[in-house]
Amino acid sequence: MAIPTDDRKRALLIGVEVKQSRPLFNVEESMAELARLADTAGVQVVGEISQRVDRIHPATFIGSGKAAEVRLLAEEAEAELVIFDDELSPRHQRELQEVLGEGALILDRTALILDIFAQHAHTREGQLQVELAQLEYRLPRLTRMWTHLARQAGGRAGGRHGGVGLRGPGETQLEVDHRIISQRIDRLKAEIEKVRAHRGRYRARRRRSAIPVVAIVGYTNAGKSTLLNHLSGATVRTGDKLFATLDPTTRRVRLPSGHEALFTDTVGFIQKLPTTVVVAFQATLEEITEADLLLHIVDASHPQAAAQVEAVEETLAELEIDTIPTIIALNKIDLLDGGKLSVDYEGASAISALTGAGMQELLERTDRELSSTWVRIDVVIPYQQGALAALFHDKGVVEQETHTDAGVRILGKVPGRLAYRFQQPEQ
């Protein structure tokens, strides 16, 4: 048995694959990813169990026999945490708790990812969003798992309930916890709304500058931040760990044509992440939704590159942003050592964000794509530049037009190749 060498929490990982199902990742691949997530979260993996089953057990997820086995193994390996590779329902959580015993802390993939997010959120908005996502994840589980969660919360909620208890301490505690969390959720939403309004004003100004926006999207650890740093000299933290980036960063990049574009680095995607959690990341989503072009970065050196591409495409589709024109860039080609790419997509560019290989071609491609797509702009055209306003009407789609002291303000879309004509100095 491994001798504990550090003070990290010790975890046992559990994964299942339902026979006949066709998951993007098989159970071994998914478990390898879970182990990386655990490591990123600062947890020491001391064992793992994975199995193929006919169906998910409605009560204990893995079946009570297997659950008893897990308990034994957890005790043997001195694991305080048992982490499941799939999202557990409140019922699964409760029943597993019974079998595994009060002492075991049961987590699932979603909770683990939220924990990593909490560690990696650096901006105020990011922190607010993560807390909101965590509470929303916990609320439905709280109803049936109050004892477990009250313990996790360090008894804070329990302290508040004091001696109140007409209907029995359990139920009262549950209600108190529920109310405290609901109130906190409302407060968080209000605060997030304020930060969003501020960012909305910033983006409106940005749109007025008529610079097209390129959102860098992709699976976590694909090299998105490294690419932004390479292109713009930004200093976004990168690292060989999952979800290094949570808060979006935007930088101006000059394209080979001489025109400029704004590149935005966003949070990575991962398989099995519920869309509800992704949706919590409004900041990132708004950046992506308003982009004129998506740059989908793929880690071409990863053995599951193709499955990762599919997972990203699925998420984009669920978020209904799969209509934005997309360029695929196969990254990390420096690691291929002359070997062949394991994936290929029509028109994909092969690059290395680390060495800069293929970068010129990627930027030229970005230039071409942008000039053939529509760019949203909001511009004030001085009255003496009537020809420019006429050009907007002629070639663009005017959605709103108002007359101001400074000139005619037009909101709408123009073909990317013309957007630059409307560029205004930053205000």
Ligand X SMILES: Nc1nc2c(ncn2[C@@H]2O[C@H](COP(=O)(O)OP(=O)(O)OP(=O)(O)O)[C@@H](O)[C@H]2O)c(=O)[nH]1
Which residue in 110, 173, 238, 349 binds ligand X (CB under 6 A)? 238
Measured CA distances, 97 to 50, 78, 92, 145, 257 (Å): 19, 17, 8, 9, 61
Q: What are the E-state strand segments in 227-325?
A: 249-254, 260-265, 293-299
For the residues of 61-103, what is the DSSP string, one character each? BS-HHHHHHHHHHHHHTT-SEEEESSPPPHHHHHHHHHHH-TT
Span between the terminal Cα atoms of the chain, in Å:
64
Q: Which is nearer to Mg ion, 36 or 144 (CB)?
A: 36
Q: How many residues comprise the chain?
A: 427
Q: Is 225 in the site for Mg ion (CB under 5 A)?
A: yes
Contacts of 109 (CB under 8 A, 6+ apart): 34, 37, 83, 84, 85, 86, 87, 272, 273
Q: Is 225 in the site for ligand X (CB under 6 A)?
A: yes
From residue 251 to residue 290, the character string flagging contacts with ligand X as x (rule: CB under 6 A) and all else as - is -----------------x----------------------
Q: Is 118 in the site for ligand X (CB under 6 A)?
A: no
Q: Is 242 in the site for ligand X (CB under 6 A)?
A: yes
Which residue in 223, 358, 396, 416 binds ligand X (CB under 6 A)? 223
Q: Is 244 in the site for ligand X (CB under 6 A)?
A: yes
With contacts defined by CB under 6 A, name the span among 26-34, 279-287, 315-323, 348-356 that binds ligand X: 348-356
Cβ of residue 198: shortest distance to ligand X, in angstroms? 24
Cβ of residue 217: shortest distance to ligand X, in angstroms? 9
- The number of C-alpha atoms within 13 Å of 383 and in the hemisphere containing its C-beta is 6
Strand partners for 218: 297
Backbone angles phi, psi at 319, to 5 degrees: -85, 0
Q: Is 211 in the site for Mg ion (CB under 5 A)?
A: no
With contacts defined by CB under 6 A, name the span among 72-80, 168-176, 350-358, 359-367 that binds ligand X: 350-358
User: Is residue 83 a contact partner of residue 109, using CB atoms and an 8 Å limit?
Assistant: yes
Which residue in 41, 192, 244, 379 binds Mg ion (CB under 5 A)? 244
Q: Is 246 in the site for Mg ion (CB under 5 A)?
A: no
Q: Is 220 in the site for ligand X (CB under 6 A)?
A: yes
User: Is residue 15 a contact partner of residue 84, using CB atoms and an 8 Å limit?
Assistant: yes
Our separate counts of H helices and E strands in the chain read 14, 13
Which residue in 30, 97, 173, 221 binds ligand X (CB under 6 A)? 221
Q: Which is nearer to Mg ion, 244 or 408 (CB)?
A: 244
Q: Which residue is nearest to ligand X (CB)?
A: 268
Which residue in 245, 304, 315, 352 binds Mg ion (CB under 5 A)? 245
Strand partners for 349: 329
Q: Which is nearer to ligand X, 220 or 232 (CB)?
A: 220
Q: CA torsion angle for 42, 43, 49, 54 (degrees, to 10)?
A: -60
Q: Is 356 in the site for ligand X (CB under 6 A)?
A: no
Tell me the one-letter amino acid at 78.
Answer: E
Which chain residues interact with ligand X by CB under 6 A? 218, 220-226, 238-240, 242-245, 268, 331-332, 334-335, 352-354
Which chain residues interact with Mg ion by CB under 5 A? 224-225, 244-245
